[in-house]
Amino acid sequence: MGEDTKLESLELARRIVDIVVEKMGTDVVLMEIGKLSNIADYFVICSGETDRQLDAIVHEVRTQLKQEGQQPAGIEGKPSSGWVLVDGGDIVVHVFAPPQREFYRLERLWSDAKTILRVA
């Protein structure tokens, strides 16, 4: 992947973090995983307190990706399950209810990845 594309992906990932924060998502983490895996360049991981909030976060992330010309490759899970994954290609967004986030502990699983930012 070229440096320009990587920079564009990072800028989009940061915009997604802003969207999550605007939708009152909590404990938002942006991780660079591209050096460890070829599944994506970045993970955005966040929590939401209610199914409705999880749905609102996912909806806005999907809208932002579409506005950037990146049709999400897929959305897995449902707010009622406590975990929704939005596959944006270079950026994968994990939206969790707190119990599921604690159970899966993605930050620990990907602890070798660089944390670019964290918004508590």
Could you report the per-residue pLDDT of 97-107, keeping only the tens digit for each? 999 999 999 99
Under the banding of pLDDT at 50, 70 and 90, the label for residue 4 is low
Span 50-102, pLDDT tens digits: 999 999 999 999 999 888 888 788 999 999 999 999 999 999 999 999 999 99
Give me the residue label for tokens 């406590």: 82
Q: Could you give the CA distance from residue 78 to residue 87 in angstroms, rounded to a whole number?
A: 14
Spatial CB neighbours of 70, under 8 Å, sequence gap ≥ 6: 12, 88, 89
pTM of the prediction? 0.93
Find the CATH number of the domain harbouring 17. Answer: 3.30.460.10
Query: Where is 7: in which H helix or E strand?
Result: helix 3-22
- Answer for the pair 92, 42: CB distance below 8 angstroms, yes or no: yes
Give residue 115's domain range.
Answer: 3-119
Kindly list the distances between the CA atom of residue 115 and the CA atoms of 20, 44, 83, 96, in Å, as whole numbers in the listed order: 17, 10, 21, 18
- Answer for the pair 44, 17: CB distance below 8 angstroms, yes or no: yes
The total of structural domains in the chain comes to: 1
Amino acid at 119: V
Q: How far is CA 8 from the centre of its chain?
A: 16
